[in-house]
Amino acid sequence: MSASQFGSRFVITSFGESHGTALGVVIDGCPAGVRFDSEILKKELERRRPGHHGSGQIVSGRQEADAPEVLSGVFEEKTLGTPIAIIVRNQDARSQDYKEIKNSPRAGHADDMWRNKFGHSDHRGGGRSSGRETVSRVMAGAVAQMLLKETSPKTRVMGYASQIGPFSLTPDERVQVPSKNIDSFQARFPSNRDVEVAELLKSAQESGDSYGGVAEILIENPPAYLGQPVFHKLKSDLAQAFLSVGATNGFELGLGFESAEVKGTEFHQGTQEAYGGIRGGISTGESILLKVSFKPTSSILDVAKKGRHDPCIVTRAIPVLEAMTWLVLADHWLWSKTDRI
């Protein structure tokens, strides 16, 4: 297992610096015969781009065309069973903005940690600690999605912001989430208070401030019996997947921390919501509900204002979390093929 590698069966290797030549991913382990739907790939990359899911523009202004190029593993629109390599070239790399960062690392940012660890770093735009690295994850996740679309067509992965700074979804709003078009909300916060949230973020961006938040991932109709005891329970691989995303600092399955206060007799007579669709580390086939918390973005000091950063990372992180979810599902779906003879 190497550092930029994820998965045990559907194995991806991510590469690329924020301001280097290109970002990319190699997927090794995708079976042959999967229909390769380029539209899914393009759509997911588009959804990851700043300000392109809704009408607003409350996120970092970096604009990359992000046109994916499939280098291998696909022929006549089907996967070959060989490694699938996909890259995106960096075009809009305003490294000028970041030059002065070289000697003045951003507070709370990964830059200085990486420099000390490796003794040498690409200081331009955070190098590989930049959020731009997630392009690779989104591309790999799109392929994982293609695999699941064929093998478990009813499975749906839906991410949304349930909290952005002081704003949280109300119980009523929550109930309606599955019927909403999340991307039609500027901050992917499915509420009619979405405009207020957008204004808060705009004002934070102007004043050099930022907010944390919470994203939720709802998996509807997941395949049942995914998860490998004991160290690759579905919940533990999902936790690793989500916590590998920058700025995350919390993970919950179902009730999560709230369950500490609930008596067992109440918890277990409760519905699937309490345990979140995973029991004994294995998917039951019921909906899986996951929550991920994000700290406020760190690029808030003077030097970085010129950098193009988000006042709240949650909105943009949602396609990334969805991608990580598809990857874990694809990995475990393949793994489950050898559970028994």
Q: Is 48 annotated as a binding residue?
A: yes
Q: Is 31 annotated as a binding residue?
A: no
Q: Which is nearer to a second copy, 157 or 239 (CB)?
A: 239
DSSP per-residue letters across 130-190: SGGGHHHHHHHHHHHHHHHHHHSTT-EEEEEEEEETTEE--HHHHHHGGGS-GGGSTTS--
Q: Which is nearer to a second copy, 158 or 247 (CB)?
A: 247
Chain-centre distance for alpha carbon 99: 28
- Closest distance to a second copy from the beta carbon of 39 (Å): 19
Q: Is 297 annotated as a binding residue?
A: yes
The Cα 229–Cα 225 span in angstroms is: 11
Q: Is 95 annotated as a binding residue?
A: no
CA angle 133, 239, 228 (to 5 degrees): 115
Q: Is 280 annotated as a binding residue?
A: yes
- Closest distance to a second copy from the beta carbon of 85 (Å): 4
Using an 8 Å Cβ cutoff, are 280 and 299 in contact? no
Q: Which is nearer to a second copy, 103 or 179 (CB)?
A: 103
Q: Which is nearer to a second copy, 158 or 314 (CB)?
A: 314
Q: Which is nearer to a second copy, 61 or 268 (CB)?
A: 268
- Closest distance to a second copy from the beta carbon of 195 (Å): 20
The Cα 252–Cα 215 span in angstroms is: 10
- Closest distance to a second copy from the beta carbon of 27 (Å): 9
Q: Is 128 annotated as a binding residue?
A: yes
The Cα 325–Cα 249 span in angstroms is: 17
Structure tokens at 171: 């119980």
- Closest distance to a second copy from the beta carbon of 216 (Å): 12
Binding residues, by number, are 48, 128-130, 280, 295-299, 308
Binding residues for NADP(+), by number, are 48
